[in-house]
């Protein structure tokens, strides 16, 4: 392995070894606490524009299986691990993680103190970073380099991760319920969970107009996860508002979909210090007090204090009490910040899909 360097926006430099493709990449440096699920992380469109740090020390031990992809490709800007497993053990393994990163053109670094990096991001907040690999020369950290790193920003994120079909319903029974799924960077498991429950799913682009959605005569509308700042999607939010004003089609929002639904209904969102990423985040049902273990990946949250009178806070994060779910009392709509289609508990919150289907 050749040397690689991670340079953070505050001037900190970590030296390690190159993994994946070689070159230079810039992104928003974040960490995820999942002990497993690195394949799903790498192929989750919500990580677009981010350099992802795995806090679990050994990554790649079960290889890569295309069947577990959440989308067609990897969307991360870079990848950081403590130790990369070069000889995975799994009967389903198709290739090593390093081979996958090379094939996807993902620049990565291993052999650094990921615990120290995570502590820095936790205390200072997420910050931009740059990975430089394929060189033995330590980068000169000067104002020009730091300026380039600091100027990086994630823009047009939802537009950049389009991977759905366009108005092409899947084959299903005539009696099945028809769901329109907005693709803001949708994870494949959302569609799978709906199909498991007998739904016919039509995936539509992020910028589909409300009247076009209504013309498809759906029984329900799903607002998917996705990357970036929810507030920048002003056109999408306006179309969601029109669907809410119509008020007759049940709506279920997940992650970015949850945030944009809240914005469409008059609430506000703000950026978290270091976000919630990983498969072990506890959330509490505000009505029953029950705690669920959830999978999460987001850097923004809905501000609970800005919820309108017709919105009820349904779930809160146990760690920091941020908004994790909203029920709307004036229309048939609800949303959650976490990922019920993932396997955090491992099946703790699958019931939310049942709730949605029953409401159709």
| Terminal C-alpha separation, the chain | 55
Active-site residue set: 255, 339, 341
Instruction: Give the Cα separation of 147 and 9 in Å (integer).
Output: 8
Instruction: Reduce the DSSP state of residue 264 to 3 states and report it.
Output: helix
Q: Report the distance separating Cα 148 and Cα 256, nearest Å.
A: 28
> What is the Cα 198 distance to its own chain's centre?
25
Name which of 204, 327, 206 is nearest 265 in CA terms.
327
* Surface-to-core class of residue 296, CB atoms within 10 Å of its CB (0-12 exposed, 13-18 middle, 19+ buried): buried
The count of other CB atoms within 10 Å of the CB of residue 50 is 29
d(CA 326, CA 315): 7
Round to whole Å and give the CA distance between 336 and 327: 9
Alpha carbons 128 and 28: distance in angstroms, whole number: 4
């Amino acid at each position: 392995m050749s040397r690689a360097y991670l340079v953070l926006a505050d001037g900190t430099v970590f030296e390690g070894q190159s993994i994946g493709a070689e070159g230079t990449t810039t992104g928003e440096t974040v960490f995820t606490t999942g002990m497993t699920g690195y394949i799903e992380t790498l192929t989750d469109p919500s990580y677009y524009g981010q350099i992802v740090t795995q806090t679990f020390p050994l990554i790649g031990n079960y290889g890569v299986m295309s069947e577990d992809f959440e989308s067609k490709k990897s969307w991360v800007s870079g990848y950081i691990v403590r130790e990369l497993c070069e000889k995975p053990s799994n009967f389903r393994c198709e290739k090593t993680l390093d081979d996958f990163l090379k094939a996807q053109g993902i620049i990565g670094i291993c052999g650094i103190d990921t615990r120290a990096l995570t502590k820095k991001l936790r205390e200072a907040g997420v910050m931009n970073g740059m990975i430089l690999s394929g060189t033995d020369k330590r980068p000169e950290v000067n104002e020009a380099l730091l300026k380039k790193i600091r100027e990086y920003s994630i823009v047009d994120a939802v537009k950049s991760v389009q991977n759905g079909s366009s108005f092409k319903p899947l084959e299903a029974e005539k009696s099945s319920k028809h769901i329109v799924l907005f693709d803001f960077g949708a994870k494949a498991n959302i569609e799978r969970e709906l199909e498991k429950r007998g739904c016919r799913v039509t995936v539509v682009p992020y910028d589909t107009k409300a009247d076009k959605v209504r013309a498809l005569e759906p029984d329900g509308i799903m607002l998917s996860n996705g990357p970036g700042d929810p507030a920048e999607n002003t056109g999408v939010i306006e179309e969601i508002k029109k669907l809410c004003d119509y008020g007759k089609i049940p709506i279920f929002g997940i992650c970015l979909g949850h945030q944009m639904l809240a914005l469409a209904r008059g609430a506000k969102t703000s950026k978290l210090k270091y976000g919630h990423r990983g498969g072990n985040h506890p959330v509490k049902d505000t009505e029953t007090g029950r705690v669920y273990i959830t999978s999460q990946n987001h850097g923004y949250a809905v501000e609970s204090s800005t919820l309108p009178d017709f919105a009820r806070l349904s779930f809160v994060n146990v760690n920091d009490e941020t908004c994790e779910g909203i029920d709307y009392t004036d229309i048939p709509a609800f949303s959650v910040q976490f990922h019920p289609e993932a396997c955090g508990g491992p099946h703790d919150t699958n019931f939310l899909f049942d709730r949605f289907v029953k409401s159709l």
